[in-house]
Structure 1
C-alpha cells in the first residue's frame, strides 16, 4: 500500500503514454467540437456499414429494411449521446466508467467482452477489404489471409499514436466516405431507377424479420457506440458531444447502411463488393474504402487497448504496459482471426452482441442518473451482475420470439432491475 501513491503518480505523469487510461483527461488535453465530431464520424464511417446494409437489404422488402435501419440507429444514437455526456463530465474511458456500476474487478468481464468485440470487427473488416483487393485487382499476388494481416498492420499505425493519430486519419476518411456514398446513390438511380429500388421485394418474400434485422443493425454497432466515451472524454463541452455523437451516428451508420440497402435492391446482390462491382463502382469503392476502414478500425484498436488497461489495473501489470504495446497485441489477435475468414460469422455475431452488450449502457445510465452511488471502490457489485443477466435474458427472449426490438428491451430491463435492486438492497449489500 505504501507504493500505491507513487504508482498512481507515475501513471498520471505519463498519462499520454497510457492515453489517460487510469485518470480523467486533463483540461489541457481537451479538444474542440470539430475535432470530436470528425473523430466520431470517422469512427462510424466503415465498410462494414455498407456490408450490413447490403446483407439485410437483400433479405427484406426495401421499406421494411429502411425502417429497421432507422429504428436501430436512433437507438444507437441515444446510447452514444448518453454515454458520451457521462464521459465528458467524468473524463473517463468506457472501461473505467463501467467500474461505477459493476465494481473494479467485475468490470473486467465487460472489458474482456469489449476487447473480443473489437478483435471481431477489426478482423471482419480486414477480411472484407482483403477480398475486395483480390476482386478489384486480379493480378494481386498475395493470399487473402496474408493481405488481411498487412491491412491490420496499416490500421495500427494511427491507433498506436493515440488520439492524435485518430484525428489525423479521420480528417482524410470522412470526405472519402461522403464521396463513396454519393456515388452509390447516383449509380443506383442511373442504372436501376429509384422507383424499382423502393419497390424491391426479395424473391419468395422477406426471409428476415423486423426484430432480427433491427438486432443486426444494432449488433453491428452497439459495441462502437458503447466505446464512444473513449473519444468523448476529450470534449470541451457537453453540446459538442450531444450534437457530434448524434450526427455522426446518423451520417456514418444510417447513411451508409441505407446506401447498402439501396445497392442490394438495385443489383439483387447480397454481397456489397459484388454489388458495387455490378454498378461499375469497384475501383472507387476500393480507394474510398482504404480510409473509410482505417478511421474505424484504428478506433477499435484504441478502445480495446483501453479495455485491456482496465483488466490489468489491480494486477502486477497495472500501469506497466504502454498503450502502444497493447494496441499492437490487439491488432495481432485480430490479424489471426481475420486469417480464418471472420466475415462468415457476421450476422450470428452481430445478433449475439445485440443481446450481450446493450445491458452495459443500461447499467452506466442507471448508476449515473438514478442510483448515484459509485461502486468503483468495490471489487464486485452483484446487483449490477444480476441486472446485466436479467437484461441479457430478456433481450435474448425477445430476439427468439421476434418481439419488438431485443436490444431496447435488454437495456430497459437492465435499467429497471438495477435501479430497483439498488434502491432496495444497496445499503445492505454494498456497505463500504
Structure 2
C-alpha cells in the first residue's frame, strides 16, 4: 500500500454522517482527551488568576461547585451526541434551522479560532521565555508560532485517531509533572502561605467564581457531541464526564489556583522558573498545549463543515489551523476573564436550547430526519432570551447590567433561562412535540 493511501486511510472523513462501527470508542478515549484538553498553559493561567481574586477556600469552593455543574451539563450534551451520532454544528442546524444556525455556528468557529490562537501564542511566549532565561537563545516568535501551529494542526487534520494517541501518551506525564511545583512549594513554605491573609485586588464572590469557571468550560461542554458521538453507550459518556468534571478538572484547577497563590503569580512559566524545573517544564508545556489545542482545531473544522459541506473536513482543519495561527501572530491576548464571561453568556444558552429541544423533539435528531426549515423561531427566541437574562444578572462591575440576581452565576442563569423558555413556550404551543416553530 502506498504512503498516500495509508495517509488517506488515517484521515477522518464524512463528519456529518454517523461514525462507522470501527470508529466507535469506550469511555477511556473520551476521558483521556478531555483531561488532556484541560491541562494547558491557559488553563493554569486561568486557575492562577482565580487564585488572585479570592481567598483559597472561596476559590476552591467556587471551582468545585462550577465543576459539578459542568459535569451534569457535560452528561446532558454528551448524551445528545451519543443518541444523534452527529457533531455539534449539525445538531445546532437541526435546532435552529439551516439559516438560523449560520450565525451561531460562525460564533463557534470564531471561538475555536480564538482559543487555538490564544493557546498557540501563550505556548510560544512560554517557550521563548524559557529558552531566553535558561539557554540565552532568542526565539523569533513569528517563526515559533508558524512552526507550533503547523505541528498542532497535523493531528487535528487526521482526526480523533491521532488526537486519542497524543492524549494517551501525554496525559499521564502531565498529571505527574504538574504536582512537582506544588510539592516544592509545600516543602519550602507549607500550607501557611496558601491560607495566609493577603490583600486581594478586585475580589470575586463565590457566585462570580462559579460563573467564570462555568463560562471558561461551557464551550467545551457545548461541543461534547463532536467526540461523544464516537462513544458506544450513554454509560461511556457519563463515566467519562464524571471522571473529568467530577475529579480531574476541579483537582487541576484548584492546583492551579493554589500555585498562583503560593508563587504569587498566574504565570506557569514564572512558577516553573521559581520551582527550578523550567527545562523539563518546557516539554510539559508543549504537550499540554498540543492536547488542548487539538480539540479546538478539530471543533472548528467540524463547525466549518456545517457551513461548507462540500469541502473535505481535513482541508477545513488545515485552513482553520492557518487562520488560528494568524490570530496568534496578530497577538489576541487581552482581557481573559471578561472574554470568558461573555463567551459563556453566548454559548451556554445555545447548548441549553439544543438539549431542551432534543428532549422535546427527539425525532428531529435521528439520522433519517427530514431537512430542518430555514429558521426555527422558537429555539432562536429561547437563545436570545437566555442571553438577555445572563446580561441582566451580570454585575455592572463585570460589564453587565446588574438588574437582579438569580443563582448569582450569570452563565448558569443564561443557560437555565433559555431551557425554561423553550420548555414553557413549547408546551404552551399546540405543536410542542415537534417544536418546529
TM-score (norm 2): 0.88
Structure-2 change in CA distance of 1:133 and 1:34 (3 Å): same
- SS of the counterpart of 1:218? helix
Structure-2 change in CA distance of 1:301 and 1:252 (3 Å): farther
- SS of the counterpart of 2:394? helix
Structure-2 change in CA distance of 1:252 and 1:245 (3 Å): same
Structure-2 change in CA distance of 1:269 and 1:430 (3 Å): closer
Contact 1:98–1:364 (CA under 8 A) maintained in structure 2: yes
Of residues 263, 268, 273, the one that matches 1:267 is 263
Of residues 275, 282, 286, the one that matches 1:286 is 282
Structure-2 change in CA distance of 1:18 and 1:380 (3 Å): farther
Question: Deviation digits for residues 34-86 of structure 1, max 9, x if unmatched?
Answer: 22322232223322211100011012111111111112222222221111111
Does residue 52 (structure 1) correspond to residue 46 (structure 2)? The answer is yes
Structure-2 change in CA distance of 1:238 and 1:133 (3 Å): same
Question: Deviation digits for residues 5-24 of structure 1, max 9, x if unmatched?
Answer: xxxxxxxxx99866332211
- The aligned counterpart of 1:6 is none
Does residue 152 (structure 1) correspond to residue 149 (structure 2)? The answer is yes
- Distance in 2, matches of 1:92 and 1:79, equals 18
The 5 A counterparts of 1:409-428 are: 409-425=413-429, 427=431
1:188 shift after superposition: 2.5
Contact 2:349–2:418 (CA under 8 A) maintained in structure 1: yes
Most deviating of 14-23 and 274-283: 14-23
Contact 1:191–1:279 (CA under 8 A) maintained in structure 2: no
Contact 2:341–2:411 (CA under 8 A) maintained in structure 1: no
Structure-2 change in CA distance of 1:212 and 1:33 (3 Å): closer
1:187 shift after superposition: 2.0
Q: Figure out how many residues of one structure are paired with residues of the other and give that number.
A: 412
- Distance in 2, matches of 1:249 and 1:239, equals 15
Moved over 4 A (4+): 14-18, 428-432
Does residue 186 (structure 1) correspond to residue 180 (structure 2)? The answer is no
Most deviating of 396-405 and 334-343: 396-405
- The aligned counterpart of 1:133 is 127
- The aligned counterpart of 1:11 is none
Structure-2 change in CA distance of 1:246 and 1:154 (3 Å): same
- The aligned counterpart of 1:207 is 203
- SS of the counterpart of 1:297? helix
Structure 1: which 5+ residue stretches go unaligned? 1-13, 313-317
1:388 shift after superposition: 0.4
Of residues 319, 335, 344, the one that matches 1:345 is 335
TM-score (norm 1): 0.89
1:431 shift after superposition: 6.3
Most deviating of 268-277 and 200-209: 200-209
